[in-house]
Amino acid sequence: MSTFDTVGVLGLGLMGRGIAQVIAQSGLAVTVLEVDRDRLDTGVRAIGEFLAEGVRRGKVTESERAATLERITGTTDPADLKPVDLVIEAVVENPEVKRDLLGKIAAVVRDDAVVATNTSALSVTDLAASVPNPGRVAGLHFFNPAPLMPVVEVIAAVQTEPGVVDRLAAFVGEIGKTSVRAKDRPGFLVNRLLMPYLNDVIAELDAELATAEDIDVALKLGLGYRMGPLELLDLIGLDTHEHATSSAYRATLDSQFAPPPLLRQMVAAGYLGRKSGRGFRFGTHTAQETAR
């Protein structure tokens, strides 16, 4: 028997679509919410493409692909989340948007439904405070891309009932991932270490210590990482990293989280990484152009 039978995922961007896919692949019914039909269709199509690629590579069977898509129901109406046992919020890293949506969803779902947020760097305790029954709110932080990354941080807010964290940790195991419990502090465990590293790398690129490509090659091969930091930023989304590191900076006033000027400029220019077609490494420009 699973800990939760039906799950709602809010937002079908980079993270929401991966989270919805993983859960549907594990055999559970998933209702996904987006702001409009276009975004919903784009997200569901991306899940279909990811699974189709899995079939081509022999990682997913054709029947698994079809069954996974069958288990995903899209909606633009929060009222359709009413029957779910667990809601995972994965909308933009903007506290007002998240609070507003969590409040709306909490009014729709059952009182005992668990409400989780995939925020990267906002306070889970603050978000929980926007829900009438905050004891059922916790952080469930997946990594990008969710279908491939095996670890999920489970974060207890100040208000979270201990049983909720235990159920979420059990759920993470049931969908084939490993859970780690982390304290509700900006960036939790992994991003707390990752954000200053990425900010330092951007400053290093801006100071022209090396080319973007050489920075990535050096850190990838020198530290045995699977991706260089600038490739990773393009994958994460430069706007998402800016939101996350800015909110960690506001919460701590610790300069290691201060968003570097080059990051701000890239975001202002609309160069957001893979999702916009241009980033530090992604796109047809040269790496040197990006730093200038």
C-alpha torsion sign, points 287, 289, 290, 292: positive
Q: What does DSSP assign to residue 59?
A: S
Q: Which of 141, 242, 246, 276 is catalytic?
A: 141
Shorter beta-carbon distance to ligand NAD: residue 196 or 237: 237
Identify whether 2 is a catalytic site residue: no
What is the spatial distance between Cα 147 and Cα 125, in angstroms, rounded to a whole number? Answer: 27
Using the structure block, give the residue that is written with the tokens 């969803």: 105
Q: Which of 34, 89, 153, 242 is catalytic?
A: 153
Residue 246 binds ligand NAD, judged by CB under 6 A: no
Residue 91 binds ligand NAD, judged by CB under 6 A: yes
Residue selected from 4, 34, 157, 263 as contacting ligand NAD according to rule CB under 6 A: 34
Question: Which part of the chain contacts ligand NAD (CB under 6 A), choosing from 136-144, 150-158, 162-170, 253-261?
Answer: 136-144
Taking each helix axis from N to C end, the angle separating 190-206 and 212-223, rounded to the nearest 10 degrees, works out to: 140
Residue selected from 113, 230, 236, 287 as contacting ligand NAD according to rule CB under 6 A: 236
Residue 137 binds ligand NAD, judged by CB under 6 A: no
Closest-CA residue to 227 (of 291, 287, 140, 145): 145
The residue count for binding ligand NAD (CB under 6 A) is: 27
Structure tokens at 158: 């100040």
Q: Which of 34, 118, 120, 231 is catalytic?
A: 120
- Minimum Å gap between C-beta 32 and ligand NAD is 9
Q: What separation in angstroms does the CA of 140 have from each of 9, 233, 289?
A: 12, 21, 38
Residue selected from 3, 4, 7, 10 as contacting ligand NAD according to rule CB under 6 A: 10
Strand 151-156 with 137-142, pairing:
antiparallel
Residue 15 binds ligand NAD, judged by CB under 6 A: yes
Shorter beta-carbon distance to ligand NAD: residue 28 or 194: 194
Question: Which part of the chain contacts ligand NAD (CB under 6 A), choosing from 53-61, 112-120, 171-179, 260-268?
Answer: 112-120
**CB count, 10 Å around CB of 238?**
29
The residues near 200 (Cβ < 8 Å, ≥ 6 apart) are none
Taking each helix axis from N to C end, the angle separating 238-252 and 190-206, rounded to the nearest 10 degrees, works out to: 110
Residue selected from 4, 7, 11, 88 as contacting ligand NAD according to rule CB under 6 A: 11
Residue selected from 24, 44, 51, 90 as contacting ligand NAD according to rule CB under 6 A: 90
Identify whether 153 is a catalytic site residue: yes
Closest-CA residue to 274 (of 241, 225, 226): 241
H or E stretch at 287: helix 287-291
Q: For the stretch 36-73, what's the b/e string if a residue is b when 16 or more beta carbons lie within 10 angstroms of its beta carbon?
A: eeebbeebbebbbebbeebeeeeebeeeebeebeebbe
Question: Which part of the chain contacts ligand NAD (CB under 6 A), choosing from 48-56, 65-73, 117-125, 192-200?
Answer: 117-125
Question: Which part of the chain contacts ligand NAD (CB under 6 A), choosing from 47-55, 130-138, 142-150, 278-286?
Answer: 142-150
Residue 99 binds ligand NAD, judged by CB under 6 A: no
Residue 97 binds ligand NAD, judged by CB under 6 A: yes
Task: List the catalytic residues.
Answer: 120, 141, 153, 191
Enumerate binding residues for ligand NAD (CB under 6 A): 10-16, 33-35, 39, 90-93, 97, 101, 118-120, 142-144, 236-237, 240, 244
